Amino acid sequence: MPELPEVETVKQALIPVLENRRVFSVFVGRKNLRWPLPENLAKRLTNKVFTHLTRRGKYVLMHLDSGEVLLLHLGMSGSVRIYQHKPELGQHDHFMLEMAPQIGSGSRSYMVLNDPRRFGWIDLFAESAILGHKLLVGMGPEPLGNKFSAALLEAAFKGRSAPVKNALLNQALIAGIGNIYANEALFLSGISPRRKAGTITGGRADRLATAIVTTLRAAIEDGGTSLRDHVQPGGEIGYFVQRLAVYGQAGKPCPKCSSLIKTIVQSGRSSFYCSRCQR
């Protein structure tokens, strides 16, 4: 499931395709994904220009010169492909933007959204409605934002008896982190996934805040450098999960101490950790 680094990689890959370019045509293959798609989606996008792209948590926000924002939610299985020629669409390709060429370049560009399980979504709404949008309202701070700090993390977790692993997945407390990077950040900070969130204070909060930023930045860097322009020959945007220390590594040696990595289930999600290094 795409987490903050993968969504950031998608956003960065889409910038040259969408920013300052006009929508030539739109294909909408279904009336709904996870939820119904907006009314008149194709008509409202056609001939509009994307002014800039941003990201909030796990969502890409594509701002248009019409004053509206196109929100892309990749859900569990959503992926985006990019082409310089018109592609054949498959069964699970639900949405396509055909972008007019940039001035001075002859080629149109195509962005295709594929989502076999259809847990993803596309929405289109007024820019002024961003803060109240149902997916964005009440979302916690951006871990890669300027305001993020150990003090902010400590305040978000204060008084919480839930395990810190669950708190990291709670988008109302901190945005964008999913199961993979929650496990990795806890390992890097030497904190047990079972520890109560409310006990993450002082030095522990410092270590965890630093580990979150380090883990997410490393993953974005991998996504950004592993493939030129992020785009593979088949149009897929290349995000790879690399350099994982504990996630999915149950029974393998801990990279720090060589004890075997353990796994437990917390709120239905697998946690991977080293019981010697993480307390």
Closer residue to Zn ion (CB): 160 or 256: 256
Q: How far is the CB of 5 from Zn ion (least distance, A)?
A: 24
The phi-psi region of residue 21 (left if phi > 0; otherwise alpha if psi is between -120 and 50; otherwise beta) is beta
CB of 275 to Zn ion, least distance (A): 8
- Indicate which residue of 56, 58, 165, 207 is catalytic: 58
- Contact positions with Zn ion (CB under 5 A) in 152-171: none
Q: Is 81 helix (H, G, I), strand (E, B) or coil?
A: strand
- Count of residues in contact with Zn ion, rule CB under 5 A: 7
Instruction: Give the x-and-dash track for 240-269 against Zn ion (CB under 5 A).
Output: --------------x-xx-x----------
Handedness of CA 221, 222, 224, 225 (dihedral sign): positive
- Name the residue nearer to Zn ion (CB basis): 99 or 274: 274
Dihedral, 124, 126, 128, 131 alpha carbons, nearest 10: -20
d(CA 144, CA 141): 9
Quote the least distance from Cβ 276 to Zn ion, whole Å.
5
Q: Output 13 or 246, the one with its CB closest to Zn ion.
A: 246
| Residue 39 known to be catalytic | no
**196 in contact with Zn ion (CB under 5 A):** no
Asked if 184 is an active-site residue, the reply is: no
Q: Is 11 among the residues known to form the active site?
A: no
Three-state SS at 121: strand
Q: Which one, 104 or 251, has the nearer CB to Zn ion? A: 251
Smallest separation (angstroms) from Zn ion to the CB of 83: 45
- In angstroms, what is the minimal distance from the CB of 146 to Zn ion? 33
Element holding 89 (H helix, E strand): none
Taking the C-alpha atoms of 115, 120, 125 and 129 in order, what is their torsion angle to the nearest 10 degrees?
Answer: -160
Nearer to Zn ion, 77 or 275 (CB): 275
Annotation marks residue 116 as catalytic: no
Q: Count the Cβ atoms, other than its own, within 10 Å of residue 36.
A: 11
Torsion of CA 275, 221, 267, 116, to 10 degrees: -140
Q: Indicate whether 118 belongs to the interface with Zn ion (CB under 5 A).
A: no
Judge contact between 22 and 66, C-beta under 8 A: no
Q: What are phi and psi of 33, to 5 degrees?
A: -115, -115
Smallest distance from Zn ion to CB 98, Å: 51
CB 123 within 8 A of CB 61: no
**Of 3, 8, 68, 184, which is the active-site residue?**
3
Write each residue from 202 to 241 as x if it is in contact with Zn ion (CB under 5 A), else as -, in one continuous string: ----------------------------------------
Q: Is 131 in the site for Zn ion (CB under 5 A)?
A: no
Please identify, using beta-carbon distances, which residue of 257 and 265 lies nearer to Zn ion: 257
Q: Are 252 and 182 in contact (CB under 8 A)?
A: no
Catalytic residue positions, numbered: 2-3, 58, 269
Residues that bind Zn ion (CB under 5 A): 254, 256-257, 259, 274, 276-277
